[in-house]
């Protein structure tokens, strides 16, 4: 690694630390103002385990559907992967979301898929395409939630959400024609052999539908989690879906924040209050609790998969990280 690259990496690291520190300071100041009320909420919590179990089960079902949608893209590009191997790769790669820039997730997916004998470029392309379709589907789900969601947004947010959804739908329709040259360019850039086939339109539309289902499932799981932890929180399912979707996407798009730390909780708290679903102390407590809930569900399967993965696969993940 040359001096210029080392210097650039050092400045990127400093920028990440500063951004994360600023977010943590902001969160601490906001929390300290409500700490007494939030602590009172926590002291009176009576967990309803049936709702909690339902929420976890729904998230795992959504994860399984996303793994299958990734496999569907791989098959469309001529690469076959066993479902068990796909689960292991997907859960391990998911740990990359908790690194700054989220790049490790996609890189690890490509490396681990190649070690299973499938196409690395197909794995990377499927991961990138899946992420883009997932983000676009999130915009679409919020808008399709209806007037009950849109009327609570200000004019700028409303226009952004509608335009984002329109561009997403147009983009999905155009993907069969836009995707081949993009994938060919990525293969050339990575020095990988080009793919010998293109994705069919029905595969792209099927994966889009799965991603729409995933956001709805996540939102309903969040509603079940909320009911299991703070029973006085209630509202229309569309609002819970919107709160979860917008907060998760906001955290994901903030590339400096590992796992969307602080950003997701801040947006979630604001939306819970703005939508009239919770008072400020309840909203803060729920946002903090949901961070623990979601982190365990996302990280634990990846750690278990990594523990039982072959030593050569663990070494590859360390190099990517």
Percent of the chain at pLDDT above 90?
Answer: 12
Please, which residues have CB within 8 angstroms of residue 72's CB and are 6 or more apart in sequence?
203, 206, 207, 210
pLDDT, residue 315, reads 52
Which residue, among 50, 68, 4, 41, has the nearest Cα to 209 in the 3D structure? 68
pLDDT band for position 38 (50/70/90)?
Answer: low
CA 123 remoteness from chain centre: 18
Tens digits of per-residue pLDDT, 199-240?
777 888 888 889 999 999 999 999 999 988 888 788 889 889
pLDDT band for position 244 (50/70/90)?
Answer: very high
CA dist 84 → 7, 61, 157 (Å): 41, 15, 41
Please, which residues have CB within 8 angstroms of residue 101's CB and are 6 or more apart in sequence?
255, 256
Rounded-to-integer distance, Cα 302 and Cα 265, Å = 23
Please, which residues have CB within 8 angstroms of residue 46's CB and are 6 or more apart in sequence?
none
Tens digits of per-residue pLDDT, 8-22?
555 555 655 555 565
Tens digits of per-residue pLDDT, 189-198?
766 666 666 7
pLDDT, residue 213, reads 93
Tens digits of per-residue pLDDT, 62-85?
999 999 998 998 888 888 888 988
Higher-scoring residue by pLDDT: 161, 96: 96
């Amino acid at each position: 690694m040359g001096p210029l690259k080392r210097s650039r990496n050092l400045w990127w690291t400093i920028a990440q630390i500063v951004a994360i520190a600023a977010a943590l300071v902001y969160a601490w100041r906001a929390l300290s103002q409500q700490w007494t009320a939030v602590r009172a909420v926590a002291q009176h919590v009576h967990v309803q385990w049936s709702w909690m179990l339902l929420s976890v089960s729904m998230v795992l079902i959504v994860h399984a559907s996303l793994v299958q949608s990734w496999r569907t893209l791989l098959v469309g590009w001529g690469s076959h992967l066993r479902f068990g191997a796909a689960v292991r790769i997907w859960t391990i790669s998911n740990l990359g979301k908790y690194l700054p820039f989220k790049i490790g997730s996609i890189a690890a997916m490509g490396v681990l898929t190649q070690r299973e004998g499938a196409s690395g470029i197909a794995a990377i392309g499927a991961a990138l395409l899946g992420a883009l379709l997932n983000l676009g589907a999130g915009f679409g789900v919020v808008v399709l939630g209806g007037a009950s969601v849109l009327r609570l947004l200000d004019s700028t947010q409303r226009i952004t959400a509608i335009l984002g959804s329109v561009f997403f739908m147009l983009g999905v329709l155009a993907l069969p024609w836009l995707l081949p040259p993009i994938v060919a360019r990525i293969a050339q850039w990575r020095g990988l052999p080009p793919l010998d086939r293109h994705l069919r339109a029905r595969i792209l539309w099927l994966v889009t539908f799965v991603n729409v289902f995933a956001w709805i499932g996540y939102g309903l799981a969040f509603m079940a989690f909320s009911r299991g932890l703070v029973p006085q929180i209630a509202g229309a399912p569309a609002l819970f879906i919107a709160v979860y979707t917008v907060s998760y996407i906001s955290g994901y798009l903030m590339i400096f924040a590992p796992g969307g730390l602080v950003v997701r909780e801040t947006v979630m708290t604001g939306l819970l209050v703005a939508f009239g679903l919770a008072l400020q102390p309840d909203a803060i407590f729920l946002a903090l609790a949901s961070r623990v809930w979601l982190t365990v569900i996302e990280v634990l399967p990846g750690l278990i998969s990594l523990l039982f993965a072959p030593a050569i696969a663990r070494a590859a993940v360390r190099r990517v990280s």
